[in-house]
Structure 1
Amino acid sequence: MIRGFIDFDTLDRNQNFDRLDLRDISLPGLQLQHDGTRVAAFANGAQLMLLQGEPRFRDAALGRRVAQDGWTAVIAQLCEAPDAFIAGLEGRFALLWIDLAKGRLGLASDRFNTYGFCYASEGRRLSFADKANEVPALRREIDRQGVFDYLYFHAIPAPGTIFKDIFRLEPGSRLNADKERTQLVAWWQPRFEEPASADFASSATTFKTLIKSAVERELDGASVGAFLSGGTDSSTVVGMLAKSGNPVTAYSIGFEAEGYDEMEFAKIAAKHFGVKHVPYYITSDDLVANIPSVATSYDQPFGNSSVLPAYLCAKLAHDDGHRKMFAGDGGDELFGGNTRYAKQRVFGYYENVPGLIKSALLEPVIMQTPLGKLPLMRKAASYIEQATTPLPERTAQYNLIYRLGMDNVFPKDFLAGVDTDAPVKLQRRVWQNTTAHALVNKMLNFDWRFTLADNDLPKVIGSTRLAGMNVIFPLLDDALLDFSLQLPPEYKLKGLQLRWFFKEALKDFLPPEIITKKKQGFGLPYGHWVLKHKGLDKLARESLDVLVERNILRKDFVSELFSTHLPAYPGYYGEMVWISMMLGQWLDKHAPASR
């Protein structure tokens, strides 16, 4: 925990930190507290540095100096040239630095914002914390825009939060504040090299070496736990752990529901690598017992339905005496493993159709004549409609609340205070800021932000933290990420074949069943279970009632959701019930006065 504020108007710039308790600082114009068990504090006269995480050193000279003289010796370097200093680090970290004499404060997060900061700028006062609900802002109120963004994304992406005028640092960015201004700067942005070809054999060797190093670097001989879904990513991590000789136990979650369970593949991987395997079949009772605590453990609403399986996996590992958990997140997003990459490439083929054929034949005939209403033509019309909508706007066509119809879901006066185009504007900004030219790399860069930094990583980090565990992401190791930036685009998506290079490089390492399996993950059969379990149904209805009472959802929509939509399509509409339930749980705990 880190929280505090700096008031530049009343800041005493003649003070220093040498004789202060660095865990609880109280000076004119500056208040700062932190958890000394997870945060390290260093001071040198009027300069202070707080460090969360254990970064490694990309800059060898910086690493040698810290090893020899400690972090205190490099505080001045951080304060004077923060971008160069931060670029010399790698791994998971967050930094806070203060220079009293110059009246400056800085905040920075790592590439994926795994240890992040939130802040509020109110006049000459800047409040900050590592959690949105801990920022000591002078005013705090729930933001309708934040609620809308949550229901759109199922999480609230940076820079927004659930609170009005409280913001979150974006991944790979830093903040610099003084009496004159608060400035945000991106200290890291991925740059895709996109060569036309590469030597496969040497690339594969480097790839496997980098994964092995990323895994073994985090081992100290103590037994560790690992998530094992049975997919290529988690199986690769478990396999590398097994090859290291370190004691490892793999934990898997199963579901007694067709189309959701992949325990069979997890068992194959565990047997292939000879690791201890702990399978657990989650039940509706598990959800009822754990949803309230998991939903309210986050600093703002969080709706990824895999968070419950992740938490139960981590809790099993913790109860078995482990304190470190390895996760396989990142492989899909670095090496092209999500099915939507192939789907969007299919739409991209339409760009190669000659313009005259499109404008004079296909689009007029299929889109504007009765032929377009025939069953086969309807599919063609849908394809043309999607293909002629550019990315990332095309993704909005698949969004749940857009499909349901915003006027059907939200009361009119709720929408009156919301920019319904804000999510797409943010997506467009991220899309346009990518340095890639190949479509697959543009999609990867897009997913590094919205899938990894804002969703999957908070899911795993939050669930393991709640279980008392520390989590490691070896497939997101900086060196492995940099390696992925140098691969030819066709190595990631070869025709319509997903993650071609990843699978080819590891086909002699992973079981063949894992190489050829379809992707599933830890998704819950939640909608099916709500229909069958009275306790889960009651919890869901009570949670959505909170949103009706707060004028967030329409009462008639919620009624129809349970009575008609959910029974007809539990897999699809169950997602809407889930994200709404998690929002209702969070609001009822953290913002009861705004009801």
Structure 2
Amino acid sequence: MDGIFGWLGDHGAHQELIEHMAHAGRQPTDTLLHAHSSQLLGIAARSRFGKADIHVENGLAAALMGRPGFDDDELALIARERGAVVAVAHGWLRHAERLPQLMRGNFAFVVLEPLKKRACLALDRSGIERLCYAHRGNHLVFGSSAQQVASHPAVGRTVDPQAIYDYLYFHTIPAPRSLYRGVQKLLPGQIALLRNGHLETRFYWHADYAPVNADFGTHRAAFRTLLDQAARDADGPSTAAFLSGGTDSSTVVGALTAARGGPVDTFSIGFDADGFDEMEYARCAAERYASRANEYYLKPADIVTAVPIIAREYDEPFGNNSAVPTYFCARAAREAGFERMLAGDGGDEIFGGNARYAKQGLFEYYDRLPALLRHGMIEPIARFPGLSKRFPLSKLRSYVEQARVGLPLRLESYNFLHRTPLDRIFERDFIQAVDPSTADAALVEVYERTASDHYINRMMHLDLKFTLADNDLRKVGTMTEAAGVEVRYPLLDDRLVAFANHLPVDYKVRGQTLRWFFKAALDDLLPEKIINKSKHGFGLPFGVWATQYAPLGELVGDSLADFKKRGWIQPAYLDHMLAMQRGPHASYYGVMIWVTMMLERWLAEND
């Protein structure tokens, strides 16, 4: 994968170590490696898109991944004339740890001062880029890839069982944990500072949800101006766009069409499976904007093709199966000659588009009922002997049980690892090696540090981290890169994110209406059919197709058979999941089958 890597600390064979870490990160060998090393440090960068570089000057070394902008005029001038990484180096000398506050857009940077034994690592506000690190003794090791960091001899590739548990819980390994013991990942908006042998992490940026009071017209005008700026800034030569037919991708295509004053090349994925195909909405948007539409219908055989690609391209196990259609959509764009794509990720998390935001309001309402009514009437009825498992009391009982679980843990009510006792899923030795409570604790920590008391803002803040930075951005960024395409996210423009955060809560979710302001402000841009559609996205009919397409079913069976030998999940539970997936619950159990299969395929590829 593209990125930066290196270390601060004594190492003799430094040139060989640069080559070793580059190989561990599976960086493209047909692209120039920018590298510098000495007895005191090593630093390197490589990107097929020209978005990574290093700079060494006067005892300071800097590495940058991304395409940041600078709000400081002097640094912006340096970036234009000499390159962004030079601006980072000079910015550190002039502003020190305030530097990332003066930057915007996607970036991950590292500054090393070996003689002063100081270092700084920073990640952009949305977590579009990625930066891993380890501090071991006198060594600080960093890399865009966890594999690169773990390959350094001071660190090592020891798999952390807790990371395996987290993966099975979240279907990815959320930051700050990585797959390897001692290797951490920076969080969005976070900075790490090494001074006097001590490494400290803190946030240089917090999402500010303080509402800005203004009338609808004022907010709408500001939004449309920012959206236009974001689309123009993200555009460039040889640029196309994802178009799923959802609200976000349609907005990006519409805004880009308006900014260009002409049609956009769009790429859409379809599925020949009931309940999964949304091509009619993509066609609706393409017709509205007169786009040059390209369509690709995914086939079961494509999944078999994609599995080894996913296992190879990600630096850690990754279990979001919509990586498959994302890859084929990006590949189609690359084969058509495009080098950049715009994606609509982020809109749900900043404007209030996830269905659970409205659903959770129904549960939050229960806690506002008088205690006498809840405890004296509703709950006794819900638990009435002999009837509580029959409709409609079964629905009431389920509602009460969920309502009594506070946010954010209520969001995980249907998590596989909550639905079945852990001692029926995992082997005893594995359970003893992990702390299952840390997964829930991670959710609570992010939820509670939100700069807002309102549950809607808190859920959106939670999703910015776990749904977007840890999952969706990893999915899209890695798969587009694998296809040879650079991706940009106009809706994650820092100015647009700040604007959305400041909207009043009922502009985001009004009753059961999601994205109230967003849809009202774009009613002349978006087709009514798309405004009124329910959210879907690039869902993959894996569970169904695995029962219908023999090669895919064989891949599943072989993968689970191999996974049984690892001694983490009980073979009987794996057999149970497979039986349920091959029976009436193909889609539901297909999710966990996919997650487990991809864990095995990744481990087999990277062991």
- For the criterion TM > 0.5, the same-fold answer is yes
Quote the residue 1:7 is aligned against.
9
Task: State how far apart, in whole Å, the 2-side matches of 1:428 and 1:336 are.
Answer: 20
Task: Please say which of residues 561-570 and 138-147 is displaced more in the overlay.
Answer: 561-570
Residue deviations 1:29-75, cap 9 Å, x none? 32233227442222330112212111112334542454467654662
Residue deviations 1:306-345, cap 9 Å, x none? 1000000000000000000010111111111111001101
Mark the runs of 5 or more structure 2 residues left unpaired by the alignment: 15-31
Q: Cα distance 1:62–1:292, how it changes in 2: closer, same or farther (>3 A)?
A: same
- Which 4+ stretches in 1 moved above 6 angstroms? none
Task: State how far apart, in whole Å, the 2-side matches of 1:373 and 1:459 are.
Answer: 40
Task: State how far apart, in whole Å, the 2-side matches of 1:22 and 1:282 are.
Answer: 35
Instruction: Give the conservation status (yes or no) of the 8 Å contact 2:578–2:589.
Output: no
Task: State how far apart, in whole Å, the 2-side matches of 1:310 and 1:543 are.
Answer: 23
Which residue of 174, 178, 182 maps to 1:165?
182
Task: State how far apart, in whole Å, the 1-side matches of 2:330 and 2:581 are.
Answer: 34
Task: State how far apart, in whole Å, the 2-side matches of 1:57 and 1:520 are.
Answer: 36
Residue deviations 1:468-499, cap 9 Å, x none? 00001001111110110111100000011111
Quote the residue 1:15 is aligned against.
none
Q: Cα distance 1:77–1:321, how it changes in 2: closer, same or farther (>3 A)?
A: closer
Which residue of 115, 131, 138 maps to 2:155?
138
Instruction: Give the conservation status (yes or no) of the 8 Å contact 1:4–1:33.
Output: yes
Task: Please say which of residues 540-549 and 519-528 is displaced more in the overlay.
Answer: 540-549
**Does residue 177 of structure 2 align to residue 182 of structure 1?**
no
Which residue of 27, 35, 39 maps to 2:38?
27
Which residue of 262, 267, 282 maps to 1:266?
282
**Does residue 107 of structure 2 align to residue 93 of structure 1?**
yes
Task: State how far apart, in whole Å, the 2-side matches of 1:400 and 1:446 are.
Answer: 20
Quote the residue 2:569 is aligned against.
553
Task: State how far apart, in whole Å, the 2-side matches of 1:447 and 1:533 are.
Answer: 34
Task: State how far apart, in whole Å, the 1-side matches of 2:82 and 2:274 are.
Answer: 58
Quote the residue 2:25 is aligned against.
none
Offset, 1:376: 1.8
Task: Please say which of residues 53-62 and 264-273 is displaced more in the overlay.
Answer: 53-62
Quote the residue 1:18 is aligned against.
none
CA RMSD of aligned residues (A): 2.2
Instruction: Give the conservation status (yes or no) of the 8 Å contact 2:61–2:89.
Output: yes
Quote the residue 2:408 is aligned against.
392
Task: State how far apart, in whole Å, the 1-side matches of 2:571 and 2:426 are.
Answer: 9
Which residue of 272, 290, 302 maps to 1:286?
302
Within-5 A mapping of 1:137-286: 137-195=154-212, 198-220=214-236, 222-243=237-258, 244-245=260-261, 248-286=264-302
Task: State how far apart, in whole Å, the 1-side matches of 2:400 and 2:157 are.
Answer: 46
Mark the runs of 5 or more structure 1 residues left unpaired by the alignment: 13-20
Offset, 1:404: 3.7
Offset, 1:8: 6.9
Task: State how far apart, in whole Å, the 1-side matches of 2:229 and 2:38 are.
Answer: 45
Q: Cα distance 1:453–1:570, how it changes in 2: closer, same or farther (>3 A)?
A: same
Quote the residue 2:52 is aligned against.
39
Task: State how far apart, in whole Å, the 2-side matches of 1:513 and 1:569 are.
Answer: 31
Report the 3-state secondary structure (helix = DSSP H, G, I; strand = E; otherwise coil) of the residue aligned with 1:524. coil
Instruction: Give the conservation status (yes or no) of the 8 Å contact 1:9–1:124.
Output: no
Task: State how far apart, in whole Å, the 2-side matches of 1:265 and 1:581 are.
Answer: 31
Task: State how far apart, in whole Å, the 1-side matches of 2:5 and 2:74 are.
Answer: 31
Instruction: Give the conservation status (yes or no) of the 8 Å contact 2:4–2:65.
Output: no
Task: State how far apart, in whole Å, the 2-side matches of 1:473 and 1:77 are.
Answer: 25
Q: Cα distance 1:68–1:262, how it changes in 2: closer, same or farther (>3 A)?
A: closer
Within-5 A mapping of 1:429-440: 429-440=445-456
Task: State how far apart, in whole Å, the 2-side matches of 1:248 and 1:565 are.
Answer: 40
Q: Cα distance 1:306–1:82, how it changes in 2: closer, same or farther (>3 A)?
A: farther
**Does residue 121 of structure 2 align to residue 107 of structure 1?**
yes
Report the 3-state secondary structure (helix = DSSP H, G, I; strand = E; otherwise coil) of the residue aligned with 1:34. strand
Within-5 A mapping of 1:295-310: 295-310=311-326
Task: Please say which of residues 32-41 and 579-588 is displaced more in the overlay.
Answer: 32-41
Q: Cα distance 1:9–1:242, how it changes in 2: closer, same or farther (>3 A)?
A: closer
Task: Please say which of residues 504-513 and 552-561 is displaced more in the overlay.
Answer: 552-561
Residue deviations 1:101-129, cap 9 Å, x none? 31111111101222221112222222211
Instruction: Give the conservation status (yes or no) of the 8 Å contact 1:339–1:498.
Output: yes
Report the 3-state secondary structure (helix = DSSP H, G, I; strand = E; otherwise coil) of the residue aligned with 1:503. helix
- After TM superposition, the score normalised by the length of structure 2 is 0.91
Offset, 1:419: 0.8
- After TM superposition, the score normalised by the length of structure 1 is 0.93
Instruction: Give the conservation status (yes or no) of the 8 Å contact 2:61–2:111.
Output: yes
Task: Please say which of residues 52-61 and 138-147 is displaced more in the overlay.
Answer: 52-61
